[in-house]
Amino acid sequence: MNTTRAVRVGLSALGIAALVVTAGCSTRGATGGGGGAPAAPAATSAAQVKVALVPGGAHPYFQPWKTAGDQAKTDLGLGGVTFDETGQWDQAKQNAALNSLAAQGYNAMGIFGVSPTDINSTFTDLKSKGITVASLGSCPAGDVDQASFCLSTEVQQAAEKAAQAAITAMGGQGVLVHLTGNNVDSNTQRRIAGVKQAIDATGGKVRLLTTITDIDTDLQTAQKAVSDLLSAQGGQINGIVSTAYNPAVAAAAAVKASKLPIKDVAIDDDPTILAGIRDGSVSATVAQNPAGQAYVGTWALTKLVTGACTVATPGVAIDSGSFVVDSKNVASYDTERQAKTKALLEQFQNTVLRCKAQ
Amino acid sequence: MTLLADPDSETQRRPPAARRGRWVLRALTGQRAGLAVVVVVLIIVFGTLRPAFYDSRLVVFPLLRDIATLTVVGLAQLAVLSIGHMNLAVGRMAAFGALVSGFSYQVLGLNLVLGLVLGLVAGAAVGALAGLIITGTGVNSFVVTLGLDFALLGLVTLVYGQFTTLAAFTVKPPGMEELRSYSMADLCVGDVCGSPAVPQLLLFTVVALAGVGYLFARARTGREMLLTGSNATAAELSGIPTKRRVIGAHTLSGLLSGLAGFMLAVTAGSFTAGIGSAFLIPSFLGPVLGGTALTGGAVSVIGTFMGISLTQVIQQGLSMLGVGLESLNIYLGLILLVALSAVRIRQLFTRRRRSS
Amino acid sequence: MTEPATDTVTDAETRQRRITPARLRSTEATLLAVVVIGFAALSVTSGGDLLRGPAIQTVLTYVAVPVLIGLAQMVVLAVGQMNLSVGALGGFTAVLMGSMMADAGWPAVLAVLAGIALATAFGAVNGLLVVFTRINGFVVTLATMTVLIGLQYRVVGTRTIADYSPGLKAVGAASVAYIPVILMVALLVAAAVAVFVRRTVPGRWLLASGGNPLAARLSGISNDRILVLAHTLSGLIIGIAAAVTVASAPGVNSSIGGDWLLPSFAAPIIGGVALTGGSVAVLGTVLAAFVVRLVDVARAQFSLDPSWVSLVVGVVVLGTVVLTQRRRRRG
């Protein structure tokens, strides 16, 4: 019996060794330390460019990326554009998805990193494999951005704008509540800082009653938190600012049902939120420019991959624009946004990128 | 390695546990062979459909790196499954270990090795705490580790909030970047180097596999743990210090969780509070697919590695095939169900063959 | 060699018969005391605001779903199993009902009934898979949970379905003397489960099979059938929870059900249900759901940091069970 077990152990060890060996040996100098030669030869024409747009996870914010990417593909004659949302808000899963895309031949990627503190490592990895990367929708944490550029609404700035819109709707004074998502996420911390900034700017006229975090996981959790808040302290609240999706939806419904005179401000322009603006339950929302990010980002990536242009300052951050939408401009804000996208294209062409004369 | 209480010495008396043990022994062997076949077949299928699947730098290296971390997670759960317990706080223990490591790098300025050691000690300490509560109060491990999970979540969040503005420790000690991206190709003997597809992080996993494997195969402590898992009353009556073994199992679980947290932080690039949030499911799937019993008494260390490999190969393969999110989880779940059913079908065949 | 089996059977039975009623009564008494004292304390600190009608209605509204999902988990715990797909099944059923009404134009009654039927069927599938694969329900329901999460996303994508049956929404918001209709539905289900388990034959078989599978098998009960029954019943209750969700939530999207798993375990465990099977505690589960709800109310009232709330919940879970354990040891 013991010999049989020894044989089994030996076979298992042999199996593992075989696995390691078949994975391939190499000789010194074949690959440089920790990296290596780019995976594919540089593309020279737009038809050889394949762009991947990779959000952090499934979220209504990224839906416009799909249509904008397809539009860019048609306009520029790209080899391919894909949209991959399998990251599911986990950096490890997003890294695996990005590596898959690289292996499938995608040579340019516009990425919304799941974790702002980890994404620079991912960018470095991808760059060493010869892929051109841009950060879309969210910039990495810290001072350095390893991507070619970052095209986004600064997360802190968007939250600050939303809080300002709420304060304006409240008449410049009163009590404000901030509803947001995962507390241990860097982007949430930035949003909290942005709201605080807006409140500090009022010089004490507006008071932050509380910041309720971790209510974006689930719509019912958000609904419960908002109902409890209104039930306990609804009388003294003048404004609510929601910087995450589920709290925004829940706040709109709860404020409407409670009939309290609370000004409710959200972010992003999901149909549910816009419907709220139209029927008055939401005072305003701060719409960002995801379509612009995707279109201009794809355009710029194409130029970089084909070698037609280079980035003047690698790692530069460009604001893609944010727009306060209320009942007055809910029908027309999109036009304003498209104008901004056009302006962004020009900005890239003139300042951000240095292009060779055609 | 099939690792059980040795059935040979009990051949004379043949108590029910050993009889069951022999059958389980055979089933486990068959199961792991079947698992290896499935993994190889899947690799061939995916590779045929997408030859890029074999790309050593772009696909195999990151895949092995992920397998390395998740195998350690699976071993962390295996440590408590051996005594028939569960550790629901595997993810948060990993987060806690990573927190301590990150803290030692950013605030204390220690080097890579020292921070790792501190992280391991922290994980082991939390595991020991769980073990102490379980043996002291007699409460089910499910409940204790569930409560501990909540408590650690709160604690980790509070500490990150206290010491950082970004909810993460971002200081990288010298050596962390290298550990992340170096493969065996960077280890050379003369002019022959290792494979560029095998990450150096896998060495941690190999050490963990060897250590845990030795524990349950050869060490007396490990065999006593398995006996405790098989039949706690009998073990107690046989003179095994079951309480100490329980605490030991949970301490080992915490230690391995801490290691996994460190490995994930190295792979990702920073020490965040979200580390370990995706560990719970793989921690069970790996061992169970590999043949470890949820009720205790039988573990398979290599099986855990293969179970994790299976789940990761499936995910990577589906990703390479371009399966979008609308179908990814559906296929993943269905394939897992088929894999679980296949284990059962195999057992049915084994039983029928023996009885006929 | 003496067979130890029979001794174990007699011991277990006697142990259960002797302990169960007393143990449950004391757990329930403790929980009732916690609920009453907690509510009284919170009323005082709110300056009486909590005693107003609408405030009570808000408190009670969000007990309905935790009670239902706690019961769904409880019936599976009773046979010594675990159902990890509670949230995913509920979420999938909820978005399916929403989609049937909003996208396909089905009337509310039809959509709700179809959804509940489908959830029951999925529960049965869970049970059948557990029986067939002979692997602990923990792992099997983990796999089905993955499939259901995928299906939920397939049905609804990233949108929130909010545009359906005003009639159903009115029912979801309705209340009688500040007691929400959905809570009454939840309590009715709880009563039905209690009657099923204590008074009907299949219900008693459920307890017997969970408490001592060997003895049950020797008595002629098919443990496999009971397992399937337990999972099917769990699916049915989840279907009802999904219907309640569709009626009372602002809308349904792919996040629904994401937060159901832990509360579904917390309620039965705090309520005194043994994880090894063989016991149910309907009143305990309901009261435990109320206790957890009070933690939410406290959090809202004092604007507590969620990290501290996590810590407190962990301590409450541990503390309650340790106390129960101590009492069990004393006799």
**DSSP symbols for A73-84:** HHHHT-SEEEE-
3-state class (DSSP) for residue A149: strand
Cβ(A79)–Cβ(A47) below 8 Å: yes
Q: Do C300 and A232 touch (CB under 8 A)?
A: yes
Contacts of A320 (CB under 8 A, 6+ apart): A151, A152, A153, A288, A289, A292, A293, A296, A340, A344
Distance CA C140, CA C147 (A): 11
State the smallest CA–CA distance between residue C292 and chain B in angstroms: 14
What are the structural domain ranges in chain B? 67-184+193-320
Distance CA A79, CA A91 (A): 27
Helix (H) or strand (E) holding A319: strand A316-319
Produce one character per residue of A137-147: b if its CB has 16 or more CB atoms within 10 Å, e if not: bbbbbeeebbb
Among B238, B218, B219, B217, residue whose Cα is nearest residue B228? B238
Contacts of B332 in chain C (CB under 8 A): 146-147, 150
C178 contact A CB<8A: no
State the smallest CA–CA distance between residue B183 and chain C in angstroms: 33
Neighbours of A338 (CB within 10 A): 14
User: How far is CA B26 from its chain centroid?
Assistant: 23
Q: What is the DSSP string of B99-132?
A: HHHHHHHHTS---HHHHHHHHHHHHHHHHHHHHH
Structure tokens that stand for A279 in this block? 């029927």
A126 vs A28, A140, A319, C106, CA distance in Å?
23, 15, 24, 49
Which residue range is the domain that position C281 belongs to? 61-330
Determine phi and psi for A206, rounding to 5 degrees: -110, 135
Contacts of B8 (CB under 8 A, 6+ apart): A1, A2
Contacts of B307 (CB under 8 A, 6+ apart): B35, B74, B285, B286, B287, B288, B289, B290
Distance CA B294, CA B291 (A): 9
Q: Give the pLDDT score at C5.
A: 38
What architecture does CATH give domain A156-287? 3-Layer(aba) Sandwich (3.40)
Distance CA B54, CA B63 (A): 11
Q: Where on the phi/psi map is residue B292: left (φ > 0), alpha (ψ -120 to 50), or beta? A: beta
The residue of chain C with its CA nearest to that of B326 is C154
Q: Do A189 and B196 touch (CB under 8 A)?
A: no
Among B231, B247, B216, residue whose Cα is nearest residue B75? B216
Alpha-helix residue ranges (DSSP H) falling in chain A? 2-22, 63-76, 91-103, 119-128, 155-170, 186-200, 219-233, 245-258, 271-279, 290-305, 333-347
Cβ(A137)–Cβ(A293) below 8 Å: yes
Tens digits of pLDDT across chain B (356 residues): 444 444 444 344 445 555 555 555 555 566 777 788 888 988 999 999 989 898 888 899 999 999 999 999 999 999 999 999 999 999 999 999 999 999 999 999 999 999 999 999 999 999 999 999 899 888 888 888 988 998 898 889 888 888 887 788 988 999 898 899 888 888 777 777 878 888 989 999 999 999 999 999 999 999 999 999 999 899 989 999 999 999 999 999 999 999 999 999 999 999 998 899 889 989 998 998 888 888 888 999 999 999 999 999 999 999 999 898 989 999 999 988 888 787 677 777 777 666 55
Q: Do C258 and A218 touch (CB under 8 A)?
A: yes
C302 contact B CB<8A: no
pLDDT tier for residue C279 given thresholds of 50, 70 and 90: confident
Mean pLDDT across A68-90: 93
More confident residue, A132 or A5: A132
Q: Give the pLDDT score at B13.
A: 45
CATH number among 3.40.50.2300, 3.40.50.261, 3.40.430.10, 1.10.10.410, domain A46-153+290-323+331-355: 3.40.50.2300
Q: Rg of chain A over CA atoms, in angstroms?
A: 24
C103 contact A CB<8A: no
B96: amino acid identity, one letter: F
Residue window 110-149, chain C: list those with CB within 8 Å of chain B: 129, 132-136, 138-140, 142-149
Contacts of B146 in chain C (CB under 8 A): 262, 265, 269, 314, 317
Domain count, chain C: 1
Distance CA B144, CA B137 (A): 10
Our separate counts of H helices and E strands in chain A read: 11, 15
Distance CA B248, CA B224 (A): 11
Q: Where on the phi/psi map is residue C235: left (φ > 0), alpha (ψ -120 to 50), or beta? A: alpha
Domain assignment of residue C16, yes or no? no
Q: Do A115 and B274 touch (CB under 8 A)?
A: yes
pLDDT tier for residue C284 given thresholds of 50, 70 and 90: very high
Structure tokens that stand for A14 in this block? 């042999």
Alpha-helix residue ranges (DSSP H) falling in A86-154? 91-103, 119-128
For A223, which of C250, C301, C303 is closest by C-beta distance?
Answer: C250
Domain assignment of residue C55, yes or no? no
DSSP category for residue B189: E
Cβ(B73)–Cβ(B283) below 8 Å: yes
Per-residue pLDDT tens digits for A280-339: 889 999 999 999 999 999 999 999 999 889 999 999 999 998 889 999 998 899 999 999
Q: At which residue do the structure tokens 């939401």 appear? A: A282
What architecture does CATH give domain B67-184+193-320? Orthogonal Bundle (1.10)
Q: Do B330 and C322 touch (CB under 8 A)?
A: no
Among B142, B84, B85, residue whose Cα is nearest residue B298? B84
Distance CA C88, CA C142 (A): 10
More confident residue, A186 or A225: A225
Among B113, B121, B129, B124, residue whose Cα is nearest residue B76? B124
Residue limits of CATH 3.40.50.2300 in chain A: 46-153+290-323+331-355, 156-287
Determine phi and psi for A64, rounding to 5 degrees: -60, -20
Contacts of A196 in chain B (CB under 8 A): none
Distance CA B310, CA B304 (A): 10
Distance CA A314, CA B196 (A): 30
Q: What predicted TM-score, i.e. pTM, was given to this entire model?
A: 0.88
